[in-house]
Structure 1
C-alpha cells in the first residue's frame, strides 16, 4: 500500500526508527528534594518543581515570571495530575504535571516550547580530585549525579564506556581544546547529535568546571562552580539546556508559516516525522507518492536543527525541478511550492 493510500484511510501505525534523537521520557515529571513531608515543605517544593518544569520546557530562566503564567504561579495544582514522595536518598517530592494542560498554558502565555524530541548528548566528563583523575564512564557509580542532572534539566545524556582507548582520548587537553576531532572520532560508535566535553576540578572542597558543547559545526562554551559534584553537574546541564533550547523551541505567533516538503517517506517514517514536527503545529497538506507536504509554524533555522536530529538532508534549491504548467487542468490553480525541502 502506498503512503498516500495509507493516510487516506487514516490507519496510522506508530513505528520507531533508528535515529540519534531521543523521545525524552519523564519530561513532565519533576523531583525536588525535601527536608520533611510537612505542608509548608510540600508547597515550597511544588513551586520549585514548577520553576524547574517551565525552564525545562522553554529554556528561559525568566519564563515563569511571564504575566500569562500568573494564575499558574498562584495555583500550580491546576496543571498537576498527581504527586508523591520518593524515599531517596535524598528524600524528594515527585510531581507529575499534565502535559496537555501544561503545554496549553505555556502557549497561551506566548512562551517558546521545546518538545520531547531532543538531541542525544554524549558527555565526556573528566574529574580531577585529590583522589586522582578519572573519566566518567557508563555504568560507574560516579555517573549517577550526571544522569540525575541531565534528567532534571531535560537532556538525553549518553556516556562513553571509558575503556582504555577512550581514557587516552578523554584527556584534559582534548576536553578543553577547541578542536573536537579527537572526541568526534571516538564518539562515532555512540551515535549522538551533540558532544559535551567537561573538565571538572576539585580545589579546597569546591568544584569548578570548564565545558564545551559541539552541535554540528557550531560550538558553545562556558564554566560553572558549585559546592559538590552533584550541584556542579546540575549547573553544567542547566547551562547546556539554555544554550540548546533556542535552536529547537518554537514561540507561538513569532515564527512564520511555511510549507515543508519531505521526500523519501515511508509508513515507518511518518510517525517519526510527526514527533519531530510536533512543536511546529504541523498540518498535513498533501501527499504525492513518497513526498509529503506540511504547513508548519517555525523559522527555517529551527526546522533545520529539528529535522537534522533524524539525519534528514536539505535539498539545495538548485536541485529542485522547475515548476511547469504542463498537464495542468484549465482553471485549476497550481499547488503552492514548498519553501523548504528535505529528504531522508
Structure 2
C-alpha cells in the first residue's frame, strides 16, 4: 500500500526454482549484498529492498531492512504491534528514499537552484532527519535528493530568497554545521553539479 500511494512500482520475486537456486534465506538474513544483487539481475531492478521480520511477543514485531541503491546499502529498522504495521512502517521509510531519488527535478523561475551536500548522514534515520529539516526551512520550496553515498547525501534545492536566505535559515538552527569548502573537503567531489554547492555536516 505504501508503494502504491507513493507511485513507486514494486515487484516481488517469483521464488521459483531459479530464485530458490540463486538466493538462500541465509543470504538475506546475513545481508550478503553481492548474492542478493546477483539473484535480482533477472528482474532488472532500479533498486532492491530486503526485509527480515521477527515476532518478539503477541504485540511486538520488529523488522530490519536494507535498500540496495546505486551501489550503496541503506539500513534501517521498524517495529509495530502487528506484522502488517511493522512492514508498513519499514516499506514507507524505503519509499521515502526511492520517491525522492527518482523524482524529476522541477524548475521554478521564481526561485534559485542550489546544490547542498550534507555529510555525516550514515543511516535511514539520518536521512529522514535531514529531509524533514530541509522541508521545514522557510527558504526551501523544494528539496530533491540527487545522490546518496555511505556518509553523505546531495540535494538540489529550489530556494526562495537565494543563497544568503538559505544560509541564514540554516545558521539559526543547530542541525547543520558548515563543512570544509572544496579543496579541503574529504568527501567525494561532485561531478560538475551545475549549481552553486553548499557544504554542511549533520550534527550528531
- Shorter-chain TM range is 0.3 to 0.5
**What TM-score, normalized by structure 2, do the two folds share?**
0.47
The structure in which a higher percent of residues are strand is 2
**What TM-score, normalized by structure 1, do the two folds share?**
0.30
State which structure, 1 or 2, has the greater radius of gyration over its C-alpha atoms: 1
